[in-house]
């Protein structure tokens, strides 16, 4: 199975990088993982709606170029469907046995995700109604995917 994570911007803090590397290493026994970064746009304070949309579109077009063919696209967005870890594990398990064995998760930048990406997604997923820094969201997503595999294979993992 192949999992791609497409995200906007680079990780700046070492502690995030360390956590991402750790979960990537743990997951290597379950899947082939790739993390693809696209350039983020400069987003100063007090943007107009038009400026916000222009930034989201520019980042979104970069994301679209990275989405592989025949993948199950999962967009992380606050208005998406909330699931338990067990529910997400079940969903991924079902999809693994179907015709699509490739998943692509998309994490937007500081302003979120362009609507066109959300429309293209097979699943819009929300981890909470709260807003998380997009750099931290990478760590949270990787931890949850790792947890999904542990659940899928009936392996122990803390609750």
The count of residues in the chain is 159
- pLDDT tens-place values along the chain, 159 residues long: 899 999 999 998 999 999 999 999 999 999 999 999 999 999 888 999 999 999 999 999 999 999 999 899 999 999 999 999 999 999 999 888 776 678 999 999 999 999 999 999 999 999 999 888 888 999 999 999 999 999 999 998 765
Nearest to 117 by CA among 158, 59, 71: 59
| Token pair 């970069």 in the structure block, residue | 62
Determine contact, residues 57/87, Cβ cutoff 8 Å. Answer: no
Determine contact, residues 33/24, Cβ cutoff 8 Å. Answer: yes
Q: CATH code for 2-152?
A: 3.40.1280.10
In this structure, is the dihedral angle defined by the CA atoms of residues 93, 90, 86 and 10, taken in order, positive or negative?
positive
For the chain, the structural domain boundaries read 2-152
| pTM of the complete model | 0.94
Report d(CA 87, CA 89) in Å as an integer: 5
């Amino acid at each position: 199975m192949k999992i791609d994570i497409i995200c906007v911007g680079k990780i700046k803090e070492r502690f995030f990088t360390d956590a991402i590397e750790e979960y990537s290493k743990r997951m290597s026994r379950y899947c082939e993982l790739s993390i693809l970064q696209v350039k983020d746009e400069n987003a100063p304070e007090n943007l107009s709606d038009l400026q916000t949309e222009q930034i989201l579109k520019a980042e979104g077009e970069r994301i679209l170029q990275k989405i592989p063919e025949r993948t199950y696209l999962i967009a992380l967005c606050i208005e998406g469907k909330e699931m338990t870890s067990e529910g997400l594990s079940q969903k991924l398990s079902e999809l693994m046995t179907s015709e699509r064995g490739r998943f692509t998760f998309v994490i937007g930048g500081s302003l979120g995700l362009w609507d066109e990406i959300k429309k293209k997604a097979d699943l819009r997923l929300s981890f909470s109604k709260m807003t998380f820094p997009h750099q931290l969201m990478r760590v949270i997503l990787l931890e949850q995917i790792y947890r999904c595999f542990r659940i899928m294979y009936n392996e122990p993992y803390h609750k």
